[in-house]
Amino acid sequence: MPAPDPVAKTAAPLEPFLVDAHCHLDLYPNFLEMIQESEKHAIRTLAVTTTPLAFQRNQELTAPTQYVRAALGIHPQVIGERAAEISIFEKLLPLTRYVGEVGLDASPRFYSSFQTQERIFQRVLEASAEAGGKILSVHSVRAASRVLKLVEKFFPEDRGTVILHWFTGAQSEAKRAVELGCFFSVNSAMLDRDTGKQLIRIIPPDRVLSETDGPFLLKGKCPVRPLDVGDVICAIATVLNEPTTDVRSRIAQNFRRLLKGNSNRPFEV
């Protein structure tokens, strides 16, 4: 595993803002209020989308914000019906630095489209690599090793960054992902399970980000929202036996590093 980035370690302490690196803001009934909530609390929120058409509205509504950014997605679970929309994806790609949700899903319900998913994900990776500098939020349910093979082949590390969202692959696959330069966005459901706790112990701390994956996860009976990402930070801190404030600052630093920190804007377009 590569050594932790010395810059991240020695940088002066920065304001430890919250990061929600994967949330479906447009799937809440009160989409606009959700954007405003992230904005009000300065939560760096990556609003992932499931189709290229949904991205357009997300882009319009988030463009005036400081802290919320829309990601262009073509979700593996909709590829069965929507593979043709890859051409719209490719047309819209120049409008954003952020891509997601994309990836592969080999669970039984979606397995019939797996070959198509692979073909589409390859095109997503190739187009993003060609454009350069993109940040991808990637789904890899039951398909971690296939996702990593495609990333290795079609998305070289110097062409952009992959964030593995809700990663549930084996430890050997996590190590491979680290070698390929991937980040991991971790949510509360992952940390409820021993496998997720083990994972967070083996991933280098400088590759960890927080996410809610709202509204798909619940807190009590209500869908989680970006403000609840503090719970994820608490859970990570508990597993690693570290102060919550340290975990929170490190995730903020990781996020800055991910964005390359070459701008005064809090969240670059």
Site string for Mn ion, 206-245 (x = CB under 5 A): -------x--------------------------------
Q: How far is the CB of 115 from Mn ion (least distance, A)?
A: 22
Residue number with CB closer to Mn ion (101 or 105)? 101
Q: Quick one: 20 or 101, whose CB is closer to Mn ion?
A: 101
Token output for 178 = 């680290």
Tokens of 164: 């593995």
CB of 100 to Mn ion, least distance (A): 8
Nearer to Mn ion, 125 or 164 (CB): 164
Q: Is residue 215 reached through a cis peptide bond, with omega within 30 degrees of 0 on the bond before it?
A: yes
Query: Least Å distance between CB 50 and Mn ion?
Result: 8
Which single residue is written with the structure tokens 């095109």?
Answer: 123
Q: Which of residues 101-120 bind Mn ion (CB under 5 A)?
A: 101
Stretch that binds Mn ion, among 9-17, 52-60, 93-101, 125-133 (CB under 5 A): 93-101
Nearer to Mn ion, 18 or 78 (CB): 78
Q: What's the one-letter identity of residue 56?
A: Q
In the complex, minimum distance from the CB of residue 226 to Mn ion, in angstroms, rounded to a whole number: 13
What pairing do the DSSP bridges indicate for beta strands 134-141 and 98-105? Answer: parallel
Closer residue to Mn ion in complex, CB, 81/157: 81
> What is the rounded distance in angstroms from the CA atom of residue 155 to the CA atom of residue 34?
32
Q: Which two tokens stand for residue 226?
A: 């970006």
Question: For Mn ion, which is the closer residue by CB, 102 or 125?
Answer: 102
Residue count at the site for Mn ion (CB under 5 A)? 2
1-5: list long-range contacts, CB under 8 Å, 24+ apart. 1/175, 1/178, 1/179, 1/204, 2/178, 2/179, 2/204, 4/204, 4/205, 4/206, 5/206, 5/257
Q: Can you point out the beta strands (E) in 126-252?
A: 134-141, 160-165, 183-186, 208-210, 218-219, 222-223
Amino acid at 112: S
Smallest separation (angstroms) from Mn ion to the CB of 140:
11
Q: Which stretch binds Mn ion (CB under 5 A): 54-62, 100-108, 193-201, 230-238?
A: 100-108
Radius of gyration, CA atoms only, the chain: 17
Which residues, at least 6 apart from 252, have a Cβ–Cβ distance to it below 8 Å?
14, 15, 16, 17, 18, 19
For residue 245 the two structure tokens come to 């404030």
Residue 68 phi/psi, 5-degree rounding, is: -115, 130
Could you tell me which residues come within 8 angstroms of residue 264 by beta carbon, excluding any fewer than 6 positions away?
A: none
Nearer to Mn ion, 82 or 256 (CB): 82
Q: Which region among 25-33, 95-103, 145-153, 240-248 touches Mn ion (by CB under 5 A)?
A: 95-103
**Min dist. Cβ of residue 54 to Mn ion (A):** 13
Q: Given the rule CB under 5 A, which of 169-177, 191-199, 205-213, 248-256 is the region that contacts Mn ion?
A: 205-213
Give the nearest distance from C-beta 48 to Mn ion in angstroms: 6
Binding footprint of Mn ion on the chain (CB under 5 A) = 101, 213
